Structure 1
Amino acid sequence: MAGDNSAQVADDALRARKLTRAGLVRVELIPPPASASPFVTTFFRVQCDETEIRDVQPSSIGLVAVMARGSGHMHFLDGRVEASHPLMVLTPTSAATTFEVAGPWDAFGAMLSPAGWAALTGLSATVHGNRMMAAADVLPPRLVAACERLREEFGSLENHQMADLLCEALMPSLRRLPPGHAELIGTVAEWLAQSLSPELAELFARCRYGERQVQRLVERYFGLAPRTLARKYRALRAAVLLSRPGVTADDIAAVQDHFYDQPHMIREMRLFAGRTPARIADPDTPYLSAFLDLRDFSEGGSRMAPIPDDLRA
């Protein structure tokens, strides 16, 4: 993982600062058509009329965003601060990140799957992870042109029209992944889905590649080594489970059993989700709450790491 203890302390201090209040940030999620769902988790619209906006983005595969209004910067775990771009790509992140926007803020974009990131950029999620990059430096020209048009016509388009515009350019822009690599991405998703704490040996047993090649390919497409990837999805799914209304004592105990102890669970959630268990359902984290709603991990198909039926598996 990038960063050292001093960077973690500084990041925790930043996250402890007051975040934008609930209700001030409006997030709408627009599901992609079935043809795009293997590559796009969701389209989204984010709006806020405040002049100073601060929130947390949990660790993610990456996203494309058109910033129609507002500009900002993101704080990464290793202490780097990078500025936004009017047309930008947030590359896969290995930990939760804090962002600040000078508003008013109005943005539209697409959250990508591992296959979507790879097929659109052709870049390694490890080598190019934890960055905010200009879209023209990363995306195919046809998709960049669609983003430019979207920004020019932003005020006259409905959300579904913006999603359609991006989708029309996105689908022909996709690079074909090697069949074995596409199969591995699916295998990793199945492996993560079997348990909150899947065994690494089980992944290697499922793959046609040797252990060293599996390690390399998982890092390329997911931005993390398999063991750390399992930790990430354990923490994110635990955050979702603990934030659900009416979560039972049995479910809480089952989730806690996947961690060494409570301090370990708190550290992992803070690292990957950006919040401790006590603040996961905090109403003053609107963007984070919307992200976790999106990543409710309850659906199969192209969704990564759905929550298993047996939480003690």
Structure 2
Amino acid sequence: MASKTRQDMALLAARAGRYREYAPPPALRRHFSRLWSHRLGDGPPATVAVVPDGYCDLLWIDGRLAIAGPDRTAAFPLIRPDSTVIGARFAPGAAASWLKTPLSALVGLSVPLADIGRKHTREYEARLRDCSDPAAARTLFGRLLEEATRDEEEPPRDAAVIFAAADSGHPLSGLFGRLGMSERQLRRRCHHHFGYGAKTLERIRRFQRFLDLCRRQGAMPLARLALEAGFADQAHMTREVGEFSTLTPTVILDQLGMRKRPG
């Protein structure tokens, strides 16, 4: 686990600068669950923690297109002050198909899209560099995604079913009969679609339920927050939250701005 200094200084990515998510247009919804942009201010650089969420993202950052693979632990990217990152979050199962690469090969990595071999990448990068400002780049980024996905096949249905079960807190072992898979087959599919096995995906989505509860129910006592999120108890929550974020539950509650402080 990170040192206390890092815990005290790190900011969840959504709390650093100006982070915005928005729904993709209908033409992209088969392949991307969200589009987003993140603008850092022009002040001193902060230590930004990008925490695991079970997804893979396509980024426009520092003049190039890149793939941010799925994470097992918090990443601390170096982002220049006064810069804007534009991103698209792949829908469950879409990334491995779109990239022709199993996500197990991309865990914890940021890889230039050109290195993966997607056609037209250099052309798209040149067009994005010609944009006059971040707003124009966001608009063009969306249009380029529509061009790139026009002939892509539908993402495999089983990935969406697996992700939805993990997201809801239902044990993935209950999917064996529904999907006609053995435990070994399910594990293989999880590694292909998400980068890691079913148990890790379940833990990461439980951590994300904790973050969502912090945003909506910040005044809830920690012990109850742990149970609502699906942890065995508060100690279990503290261990898991620390592993995935390097932060304590209390620090996250404070950062997300919902904890009631004395007046």
TM over 0.5: yes
Q: Does 1:252 align with 2:225?
A: yes
RMSD, aligned α-carbons = 3.2
Q: Note closer, same or farther for the CA distance 1:280–1:20 as it changes in structure 2 (3 Å cut).
A: closer
What is the deviation of 1:137? 0.9
Residue from 66, 83, 86 that aligns with 1:105: 83
Contact 1:53 1:102 in 2 (8 A): no
Give the number of the structure whose residues are more often helix, by fraction.
2
Contact 2:51 2:245 in 1 (8 A): yes
Q: TM-score, normalised by structure 1?
A: 0.70
Contact 1:92 1:223 in 2 (8 A): yes
| Number of the residue aligned with 1:76 | none
Question: Identity, % of aligned pairs?
Answer: 20
Contact 1:66 1:151 in 2 (8 A): no
| Distance in 2, Cα, partners of 1:22 & 1:164 | 21
Residue from 17, 22, 25 that aligns with 2:17: 25
| Distance in 1, Cα, partners of 2:202 & 2:111 | 27
Residue from 118, 123, 130 that aligns with 1:140: 118
Q: Deviations over 1:129-187 (max 9, x none)?
A: 1101112012522355323311221527536523432332231363565xxxx121122
Q: Note closer, same or farther for the CA distance 1:65–1:24 as it changes in structure 2 (3 Å cut).
A: same
Q: Note closer, same or farther for the CA distance 1:169–1:276 as it changes in structure 2 (3 Å cut).
A: farther
- Secondary structure in structure 1 of the residue aligned to 2:120: helix
Report the number of matched residues: 255
Q: Does 1:278 align with 2:250?
A: yes
Q: Deviations over 1:262-281 (max 9, x none)?
A: 12101212233553221223
Structure 2 residue ranges without an equivalent (≥5): 259-263
Structure 1 residue ranges without an equivalent (≥5): 1-7, 70-85, 290-313
- Secondary structure in structure 2 of the residue aligned to 1:158: helix
| Distance in 2, Cα, partners of 1:129 & 1:171 | 23
Residue from 172, 176, 191 that aligns with 1:204: 176
| Distance in 2, Cα, partners of 1:218 & 1:21 | 26
Q: How does 1:68-87 map to 2 (within 5 A)?
A: 68=62, 86-87=64-65
| Distance in 2, Cα, partners of 1:279 & 1:156 | 32
| Distance in 1, Cα, partners of 2:219 & 2:18 | 26
Q: Note closer, same or farther for the CA distance 1:149–1:15 as it changes in structure 2 (3 Å cut).
A: farther
| Distance in 1, Cα, partners of 2:132 & 2:116 | 22
Q: TM-score, normalised by structure 2?
A: 0.81
Q: Note closer, same or farther for the CA distance 1:144–1:222 as it changes in structure 2 (3 Å cut).
A: farther
What is the deviation of 1:254? 3.8
| Distance in 2, Cα, partners of 1:254 & 1:172 | 43
AA of the residue aligned to 2:143: L
Give the number of the structure whose residues are more often strand, by fraction.
1
Q: Note closer, same or farther for the CA distance 1:213–1:34 as it changes in structure 2 (3 Å cut).
A: same
- Secondary structure in structure 2 of the residue aligned to 1:114: coil
| Distance in 2, Cα, partners of 1:185 & 1:24 | 31
Q: Note closer, same or farther for the CA distance 1:142–1:237 as it changes in structure 2 (3 Å cut).
A: same
- Secondary structure in structure 2 of the residue aligned to 1:104: coil
Q: Note closer, same or farther for the CA distance 1:15–1:136 as it changes in structure 2 (3 Å cut).
A: farther
| Distance in 2, Cα, partners of 1:33 & 1:89 | 21
